[in-house]
Amino acid sequence: MKEGVEPLVNDGFAGEPAKRCLSYIQSKREKGKNVVGIYCGYAPMEVIRAAGMVPAVLCAFADKTIAAGEEVLPANLCPLIKSSYGFIRTDTCPFYSLSEAVIAETTCDGKKKMFELIADVKPTHVMDLPQLPDQKEAQDNWTVMIRKLAGFLEQTFECKVSDADVEKEIKNTNLKNKLLNEIFDFAALTPSPITWQEIYDLTYLGQVASTEDMLPLLEASIIKLQKRVADGICHGTTDSPRVLVTGCPVGGDATKVFKIIEEAGGVIVYLDACTGMKAYAGHFEENAKDPYRAVSRRYLDVPCSCMTPNTNRLTELDRIIEKFKPDAVVDVVLHACHSYNIESQKIKERIAAKYGLPFLKIETDYSQSDVGQLRTRVEAMLEMAQ
């Protein structure tokens, strides 16, 4: 983005979403709000907020804590899990320190067993996530799990979670998602007036901030982007290769991939991960007979590779490609994330057969040791895209 252009999020923490979220959560805690830690996009935020609490996304994306994690965990485990556990062992995650309980989920075997190791540190509630999402029993069982979460929060914090409050948060989430998607739509323009960093900042903050607190920022961001379009201010040029990044959760040290793509001349137009735009793509049914079942359906529709068959991911990729018109696709796979690694073959075949776009699978971790190699591979891919 051109120098002097006002960023969408302008609060003194530009480019540092973790500090921004920490400041937000601390302010809520000082006002008496309880804080609940989460690790995954399957944690039902609507129930947490309906209980009057603030969700805090726990630390999981730093290379510096992996060595501490490997003192207990196997070295060939996913870096996200090792980093998460390392943060707890070294007591260096401020979000974990602020959290009074942790909501966990069974998305993968490594995380399940890591949760066992931290369960005695502070109250930890594990939700059994069904992984055959299209079966009726899956929604039945996940609805039960979400109700059990509400019961856990009520018992732990001596509060009440009403159906009316869950319904209210469903509507709040739909409003927030609507405005965020209006912002994301600007990335579909050629050239794009929004950067990947701005998208990342907004999606990161959107996980913890309430709709009420986000509304002024989102509405102001839309006005700023409209002005950028009117003034011809854009990121890259009409000839810059447009890149869709899909795959594993990407944050913190793993954003090296985004930076390499940008430095090589690419413009990232879509962050297709649960740490990016994917979490805001769906819609909750409003005024349903059972609001918990409505929450259950929406979360089961999230196309994570832990689901099988994960046909929703292919359908969602089709929608993204047709709308955002990428010139190339990068699939980011963290070391030892077997489900995303295996599923990458399906993504590659879909991209080749249906769109004929350059495709690059990147297997990486949080270290900087492969930056040079990744830069060479990304540059070669972008040359093919031009």
Neighbour order of strands in the sheet with 242-247 = 267-272, 242-247, 328-334, 359-364
Q: Is the pLDDT of residue 88 over 70?
A: yes
Cis check: omega of the bond before 191, within 30 degrees of 0: yes
C-beta of residue 359 within 8 angstroms of C-beta of residue 331: yes
**Side-chain half-sphere exposure of 260, counting CA atoms within 13 A:** 23
The candidate with the shortest Cα–Cα distance to 304, out of 246, 348, 241, is 246
pLDDT digit string, tens, across residues 15-62:
588 999 999 999 999 999 999 999 999 999 999 999 999 999 999 999
**Three-state secondary-structure class, residue 224:** helix
CA distance 204 to 275: 7
Position 5 scores a pLDDT of: 80
Count, residues in the chain: 386
The CATH 3.40.50.11900 domain(s) of the chain lie at 165-385
Report how far apart, in Å, the C-alpha atoms of 185 and of each of 14, 21, 71, 133, 217 are: 22, 24, 45, 28, 16
Q: What local confidence, expressed as pLDDT, does residue 6 receive? A: 84
Range with the poorest average pLDDT among 13-17, 75-79, 129-133: 13-17
Kindly tell me if the per-residue pLDDT of 10 is higher than 90: no
The ranges of the chain annotated as CATH 3.40.50.11890 are: 17-161
Q: pLDDT tens digits for 342-365?
A: 999 999 999 999 999 999 999 999
Domain 17-161: assigned CATH number:
3.40.50.11890
CATH number of this structure's domain 165-385? 3.40.50.11900
The pTM assigned to this predicted structure is: 0.96
Is residue 302 a contact partner of residue 41, using CB atoms and an 8 Å limit? Answer: yes
